[in-house]
Structure 1
Amino acid sequence: MANRKKKSDPPLVIAEDMTIYNAEAQKQRLLDALLATERLEIDLSAVSEIDSAGFQLLVLVKREARRLDKEALIVAHSEAVREVLDSYNMAAAFGDPLLIPAVKA
């Protein structure tokens, strides 16, 4: 994986809440997107609510990416996503840079 050039597609934007109510459709969308590229960038900046089902989807995508020798990166985090990652103490484990917008800093 280290020497192979990664194809970079535009980020997959998740605009709806990542909750139990959207989990099934989002799971399929995320996995399909992962299968279609070597490097999946996920933009979660518009996610206003995320629950444990949404968090589990993120864990699933990260795990599947490793299994398939691909990359899955969260490139933009909403405040709700940052809070969930912090509450589960998983920000470092995910390995994605958590950028805090200047207006929040």
Structure 2
Amino acid sequence: MTLRRFPADEEMTIITAAEQRDRLLAALADSTGVRVDLSGVADIDTAGLQVLLLARDEGARRGVPVEFAEPSPAVAEVLALTRLEL
């Protein structure tokens, strides 16, 4: 199965979280799986992290695979600080 590529925006912060959430949920609704490309994310805060966790949980609820790929240094740092694995 090929997962639909979803390129995350450069900024995943409180300023863009609502838009990111809506785009990601729409991608989940319209596909059989999503691969979120995090390589271009230059800035992420807790709101951006919440969007990623929401996507993971919503995918599980719908039975749709969600993968997170190529975390940028900013994403990797937040994941290490929070001790989360996506």
TM-score by length of 1: 0.77
Specify the alignment match of 2:3 in structure 1: 8
Q: Which structure's relative contact order is higher, taking Cα pairs within 8 Å and 6+ residues apart?
A: 2
Cα drift, residue 7 of structure 1: 4.2
Task: Say which SS state the counterpart of residue 38 (structure 1) adopts.
Answer: coil
Structure with higher Rg: it is 1
- Retained in 2: the 8 A contact 1:7–1:37? no
Runs of 4+ in 1 over 3 A off after TM superposition: none
Q: Counting helix residues as a fraction of each chain, which structure ranks higher?
A: 2
Count of matched residue positions in the alignment of Structure 1 and Structure 2: 86
Q: Which runs of 5+ in 1 are unaligned?
A: 1-5, 95-105
Q: Counting strand residues as a fraction of each chain, which structure ranks higher?
A: 2
Over aligned residue pairs, what C-alpha RMSD do you find? 1.0
The one-letter amino acid paired with 2:3 is: S
Q: Give the whole-Å Cα distance in 2 for the aligned partners of 1:72 and 1:31.
A: 11
Specify the alignment match of 1:76 in structure 2: 70
Specify the alignment match of 2:26 in structure 1: 32
TM-score by length of 2: 0.93
Q: Give the whole-Å Cα distance in 1 for the aligned partners of 2:24 and 2:3.
A: 15
Percent of pairs identical after alignment? Answer: 35
Specify the alignment match of 1:99 in structure 2: none
- Retained in 2: the 8 A contact 1:65–1:72? yes
